[in-house]
Amino acid sequence: MQWKKCTRIGIIVASVFFLAASFSAGVWYGNSRRPASERVLNVSGQNATQQFSNVDFNLFWDVWSRLEEKFVDKKKIDRQKMAFGAISGLVSSLKDPYTEFFPPAESQQFQEDIKGSFGGIGAEIGMKKSIVTIIAPLKGNPAEKAGLRAGDKIFKIDDTVTSDLNLEEAVRLIRGEPGTAVRLTVMRDSFDRAKEYKITREIIKVQIIDTEKKPGGIFVIKLHHFTETAAGEFRNAVQQFLDSHSQKLILDLRNDPGGYLTVATDIGSWFSGPGEIIARERYGDGKEDQYRSSGYQILQKVPTVVLVNEGSASASEIVAGALRDLNGTKLIGTKTFGKGSVQEVINLPQNSSMKVTIAKWLTPKGLEIDGKGLEPDIKVEIPADRELKPGEDPVMDKGMEVLQKM
């Protein structure tokens, strides 16, 4: 009887164990088959909206849940930072250097930068082939005084390597309190190896226009930047041209990084008739906005050449392209930078924001500028290893030569 009792107890224990094991296996199997998003608890907004129902986010949540489960240093797991990091990765996957996501701190700094003055080196910075590049040093500012040139590639900012930075991160590191210094490690085509420049930041002063009367009835308007006040200053320059009784014009857009499209349209209006297209703005859905001339046209029949280089970007390229398309104006110098896109700043929840490219600029004849630039009609290249003497300017000389034959 005792043996039968023990056997019965053993059978009961084995049955309970089997049921428990089966239940555990079922729980494990069921859990493994659950959508990955359900395995990450206490996170809101996990379910995709209807418009994204054909996109499988399971891998994303699977990675998230495995990080929370397996990552060794649990104190470093900050869910909000993980979410912001994921959004940044989403935006950067588009491979557009001007489309960026800003978490709260970066968003606040960006908003302050576009509203007011700041300390910096006085150079327009862009991305070219994923490398932080000087578009143009602004005249009279620290970058120009230190010897930086358009096309210089920035490999390090202080001790930070730029290969992993987006454009806004690079700009934020270069900017700082006036009077403080920043070290830039720069590579130029003429350098055997990278060179370090130590530059003291200043409050940036933007010079808009210079004018000069040249021999042979030639007048030069040098436009440094398409700022808000540039349209009015260009009007004054046109009056100076008329008062000088010159007959021919050089429009110098070298190292002009651009600015406002409306200003570019206004300046283009001096060279065109009423209603002529100065620029076209094409959106992702194929729709276009057209920016048309106000028809000032005082300079439309004036023999003109435009000087450009790799530092001519954005609004400079719009004006140069418009004058060539509309009037057959010759571009002289080197290929322009190729920055022809439009960005919109969108304020987002949680004090974050995003800058997104919404359109691309085209010349009146439909030539796309972005990433391509404008090839000059007359190429004048200065060897990278050649240092020009004071007052020497082969591109200006070529412009005067061409005008003298017109």
φ and ψ of 168, to 5 deg = -65, -35
φ and ψ of 288, to 5 deg = -130, 145
> Annotated catalytic residue: which of 325, 352, 355, 370?
325
Longest alpha-carbon distance in the chain? 130
d(CA 136, CA 254): 9
Query: CB-based burial of residue 392 (10 Å sphere; 0-12 exposed, 13-18 middle, 19+ buried)?
Result: exposed
> Annotated catalytic residue: which of 153, 248, 339, 355?
339
Closest CA to 253 of 147, 330, 143, 152: 330
Q: What is the 3-state secondary structure (H, E, C) of 58-113?
A: HHHHHHHHHHHHHCCCHHHCCHHHHHHHHHHHHHHCCCCCCCEEECHHHHHHHHHH
Count other C-beta atoms under 10 Å from residue 10's C-beta: 10
Catalytic residue check, 325: yes
> Annotated catalytic residue: which of 246, 269, 312, 314?
314
Who contacts 20 (Cβ-Cβ below 8 Å, separation ≥6)?
A: none
Are β-strands 288-292 and 341-347 bridged in parallel, bridged antiparallel, or unpaired? unpaired
Cα dihedral across residues 269, 271, 277, 283: positive or negative:
negative
3-state secondary structure of 259: strand
CA atoms within 13 A on the CB side of 138: 22
Catalytic residue check, 339: yes
Q: Catalytic residue positions?
A: 314, 325, 339
